[in-house]
Amino acid sequence: MRKKPLVGVPRAANELGLTPPTVAAALHHLQRLGIVQEVTGRQRGRLFVYNVYLAILDEGTKPLS
């Protein structure tokens, strides 16, 4: 996920040579650990983002209170 911080299940399965259910289970586990975040809010066509990169991109974008 360092090279491609935004990933979907079909593309990851294809690139890794794994089945979509295996990749979906792995991404779900990574989500529970707080490593990735699902960003679409959908059941199908979900995309996951690597939280470290998301945090870096988010730095300095929140208004000061």
**Domains of the chain: which residue ranges?**
6-58
User: Quick one: DSSP state of residue 34?
Assistant: T
pLDDT at site 40: 94
Q: Which residues, in sequence order, are bridge partners of residue 50?
A: 36
Q: Is 17 exposed, middle or buried (0-12, 13-18, 19+ CB in 10 A)?
A: exposed
Please give the Cα distance from 48 to 37 (Å, whole number).
Answer: 5
Query: Of the CATH numbers 3.40.1830.10, 3.90.76.10, 1.10.10.10, 1.20.1090.10, which one belongs to the domain with range 6-58?
Result: 1.10.10.10
pTM exceeds 0.85: no
Amino acid 2: pLDDT: 67
pLDDT digit of tens for each residue in the chain (65 aa)? 667 788 999 999 999 999 999 999 999 999 999 999 999 999 889 999 988 877 777 777 777 66
Let me know: does 48 contact 11? Beta carbons within 8 Å: no
